[in-house]
Structure formats: C-alpha cells, structure tokens
Structure 1
Amino acid sequence: MKKKKQTSDLTPHVVIFVEGDTDEVFFNRLLNYYRCQSVTPVNSCEVQNMKGVGRYASSKFTGKLSADIIPRNERKGRKIYGVCCSFDTDVFEDEETPIVNWNKVRKIIARLGIEEFCTIEVKSAMEDWLLDDIEGVCSFLKLKDCPTSLNGANGYAKMSGLFKRGGKVYVKGLSIADFIDALNIWKIRDKRKEALAELERLLRVQLP
C-alpha cells in the first residue's frame, strides 16, 4: 500500500479566485509573467473562476474548496497554503451592505486549515487595469492615434468606446483573449503593484 504523504511533504499551492472570465484570462497571463520574470521560483498556483462575485458568500465557494480543490491538489502532492480572492471594487462602491463579508470568508478559509488569505482589489474593474497599457490596446486595434484620455463612466465604457474607434465590439469576458498578448504586463503590474503585493508575497515572487 502506498504511504500517504505527510502535510509537511506537500508542495505549497496558492489558489486565486476571480469573479469572471476577463479576470481569469488576465491573472493566468500575470502568473506566466511572474514565472518568467521572478528571480526566485514561484509557488505552485491556479486560477479558479467563480462566475460572479456573489458566489464568494455562498456555499459554492466553501464546497469548491473542500470537495474539489483541496483533495484534488493533495492527490497531486500539493497543500493549499494560501487563497486570494480577486474582485472588482465597483460592485461594492455603492452598496450600503457589502455583498461579501470578507472577515467571514477569512474565517471559512482558516477553518479549512489554510494558513493564508488575502483579497485583490481591482479598482474599479479589470478594464481599468487593462487600460493601464492603452498603447497595447491601441496597437491591437491598429489605431494610429492613441488617445491620451477616454470618455466613459467606467472602465468598461471606456474600453467599449476605444474598441468602437477600432471598428470592433468589446465583449466582456471574450475580447480579452484576443488582445491579452498585445499588452505590456510589466506596465500593468507596475501600476497596480500595491494591489498585487499580498499575492506576490504568497507566491514568493521577487522581480528584478
């Protein structure tokens, strides 16, 4: 009979939960950047798409961890060392009662035996982060004159307007797969490094 590995023998593993498809594509691209650029090995990590920020407060979140992610990784010799939950802050800005109680989520994580927990605040939405490299988006759209500012009530509206200039339709969750490779991830990370600091600590990222 094969001897079960002790917890101390398992490889540390980090799970990043995101609220939608756009965030999933971005964070997978960011992880590739970390793995290529970090001067030290990056901890094992995966991205899980919750398909909606409200699910952080539901039993689906706990069930996904306890019934799927934790046992699946243990079978592969990995221990869930840390969990990060990413969310767009625009969902919370106008709410008197927050959709998610992050202190409650933190306690759930601790009860599952996971040592570390952090949130990643994407202000105000992922489109705002992507537009940190507006030149890269313009290059993808083949726009000769890249605007220095954009009109729009939020990042989604601004991105939609920019795509319209390029004769394309921006579809949330789908369009990013076409232009993510055109973006300068270093530029976005450098602008958002404060929001990403806890994630980079858990992953043990050290950039030159």
Structure 2
Amino acid sequence: MDLQERVAVVTGAGRGIGRAVALALARAGAHVALFDLDEAALSAVAQEIRGLRRQAVTGVGSVTDLGQSRAFLDGVVSRFGQLDILVNNAGVSAVAPAETISEADWRRTIEVNLNAVFFWSQAAARPMIAQRSGVIINIASIYGRRPAPGRVAYCVTKAAVISLTEALAIEWAEYGLRVNAVAPGYTDTELFRRAQAEGKIPLERL
C-alpha cells in the first residue's frame, strides 16, 4: 500500500483499532491527523508517527461536537491543502438489556456511532468533492449484521452505519469518492482486555 504524501484523518485514534489504523497509514506514507478524547494517548500516537518521518497533527474533543469537528477538518485542509482519507473509527458501546437501557445511553450511542459518522463524512466530503477524489472508511461491526443480546443500541447503530456507507457510496461515486465499511469482530485492544476482566464491555471507545 503506497500512500506517499496522502493526508488521512482518523477519529478515536488514541488507542485500539484507531491507533493501529493511524500507524498503518503512516507506515504506508500518509500524514495523519488524529482526533480523540484522550490528549495523552493522542500525543503518544503522534510521537510514534513522527518517528516514522510522517507529519502528525492532533485534535482533542468529542466527535459529537460538530463545530469542533468541522474546525478540525478545516484546519487539516488548510495545513496540508488536501484531504484524501477519513477513517470514522470513534465509537461507544452500551451493554444493557433492551428493556432497561437508559435513554442517556441509547441517545449517546446513536450520537457517537451514527450521527457523528454522518456529519464527519459530510464535512470531509466537501474538500474531497472539490478535488474529485477521496476515501471514507467507516468502522462498523459484525454486530451490524448479526445482532447479539444486551447490545441493542450498538447493534442498531452499526447496522445503520453499514446502510449509511452504502448510501453515501452510491451518492458520491460521481465525484470520484469511495465510501467503504469494515466490520471487525472482537479485537485484542486495551479496552477489550479490560472489559473481559470486568465481565462486561463498558460505554467507551472500542
């Protein structure tokens, strides 16, 4: 994979899948813009990327803060003059039976896992459409196709992300954009190991 001098944005880039994706992009030659809630984790990943002789910029905040998110993407385009890749990785998972899940957990899961994916894609698509090229990759889940008990909000949002991906791929193809989804199963991340030890997967980034 040759991504020399391409510019990529990864959300939820501080750890786990997001960190691995960001480093893989840098190893392939891309400059990477990292967005996450955890400033210390972001700084560590950025340092690793710079060690690969690639540029790294960071943004600290919630993907649900649309003003901050758009400003971050605008800053990336202003700095590099282009935006080639967006990886929508940030996500949360509320574990609770459907009959007891709280309204707050339900709404937060939809805000992070679905609404933020759309609005980040929309914001990234604008410069990509102008340059007539770009790739958007949405991190979905096997639960988007095969639901499991106790994860109703997560399953619903990941199924919606798959459908959203298909819709955007069709709509933006005429502009030279590609929109794809990846649906991982359980992945050996810090959060997953901690969740296993606690016997649950908490409402945090997967």
Q: TM-score range by the shorter chain?
A: 0.3 to 0.5
TM-score (structure 2 length as normaliser):
0.38
TM-score (structure 1 length as normaliser):
0.38
Higher RCO (CA 8 Å, separation ≥ 6 residues): 1
